[in-house]
């Protein structure tokens, strides 16, 4: 499960470099994984809020990010985004801030 969530974060990181301006995150001693997670989740939170539905956001990410990944990841990317994307997006929008979500995924302390 953790590997799938990390893959989702890395997939969404591609979105940050392609479509969203970089979000400044206060650096901590948690390491690169934590900082990357917080940057991606902050950007995704801002981006998803602008979309009309979570389903539309999942569709856009699957069609714009997945095609640009390595072949092995590209093959499973849409399935991972479809399965875990809505949950991650809803948690970001409805309940938790990006820092808490990264802690839940154990990428931050």
Spatial neighbors of 58 by CB under 8 A, at least 6 apart, are 81, 82, 85, 86, 89
- Residue 21: its pLDDT value, please? 41
List, for residues 14-66, the tens digit of each pLDDT value.
544 444 343 444 444 567 778 877 877 777 777 666 656 777 777 877 888 78
Average per-residue pLDDT for the chain: 70
> 31: left (phi > 0), else alpha (psi -120 to 50), else beta?
left
What are the residue boundaries of the structural domains of the chain, listed by start? Answer: 2-13+38-104
Instruction: Check residue 30 and give its pLDDT.
Output: 65
Cut 0.85: pTM above it = no
Residue 53, pLDDT score: 73
Q: At what angle do helices 71-90 and 32-50 cross, to 10 degrees?
A: 70
Structure token pair of residue 81: 């985004």
């Amino acid at each position: 499960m953790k590997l799938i969530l990390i893959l989702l974060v890395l997939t969404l990181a591609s979105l940050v470099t392609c479509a969203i301006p970089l979000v400044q995150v206060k650096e901590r001693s948690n390491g690169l994984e934590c900082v990357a997670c917080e940057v991606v989740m902050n950007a995704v939170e801002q981006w998803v809020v602008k979309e009309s539905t979570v389903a539309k956001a999942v569709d856009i990410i699957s069609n714009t990010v997945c095609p640009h990944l390595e072949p092995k990841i590209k093959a499973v990317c849409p399935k991972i985004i479809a399965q875990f994307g809505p949950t991650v997006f809803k948690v970001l929008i409805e309940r938790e801030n990006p820092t808490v979500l990264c802690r839940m995924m154990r990428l931050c302390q």
